[in-house]
Structure 1
Amino acid sequence: MSIADQIKEHAEVIGADGVHVGTVDGVEGDRIKLTKKDSGQGRHEGHHHFIPLSLVAEVEGDKVRLSANADVAVTFEEEQGGSAA
């Protein structure tokens, strides 16, 4: 089973440091789509962000742990439409 197959909708995405990054809305291609409620503020608010599957270290039930700390992981986020966050 691939990593993508193990990731469940509504699972919490956390950095290697245990800090909340977002909540899974789904997996699209090679990216995790985060829910809109975790989209941030200002111009980032109200649309989906995506995290590359390549950052996933492991899936533990309803938690997706990334290989990078949360503050680093968010620099890899892409906004809906493909632009970097």
Structure 2
Amino acid sequence: MVDKSQIKEHAEIIGADGAHVGTVDRVEGDRIKLTKADSGEGSHEGHHHFIPLSLVSEVEGETVRLSANADVAVSFEAESDGRPAH
């Protein structure tokens, strides 16, 4: 597992395919909290979403790379109350 102290606020999160997934707000426990700007649309808009640290494959400076493609990674996102975001 990646050292979570390497994950910095405002770092870009990208999937294994290189596609943008979100932007780090901060790390909370075993999850990365995404900024509200990456919350999506409709009922998801304006809510923080979270991605499990278990999906992080590496941290390169200001970039967090995931082990899953972006479209798969967003299926793991959860709302702040733990409910799936999608």
What TM-score, normalized by structure 1, do the two folds share? 0.97
Tell me what 1:74 maps to: 74
Which SS does the other structure have where 1:13 is aligned? strand
- Corresponding residue of 1:24: 24
Q: Is the counterpart of residue 60 in structure 1 residue 82 in structure 2? A: no
One-letter amino acid of the structure 2 residue matched with residue 83 of structure 1: R
Residue type matched to 2:35 in 1? T
1:37 maps to 37
- Counting aligned pairs with the same residue, the percent is 77
- Displacement of 1:61 in angstroms is 0.2
Helix, strand or coil: the match of 1:73?
helix
Q: Secondary structure at the residue paired with 1:54?
A: helix
- Point out where structure 2 has 5 or more consecutive residues left out of the alignment: none
4+ residue segments displaced more than 3 Å: none
**What is the CA distance between 1:81 and its match in structure 2?**
1.1
What is the TM-score when the length of structure 2 is the normalising length?
Answer: 0.95
Pairwise CA RMSD: 0.7
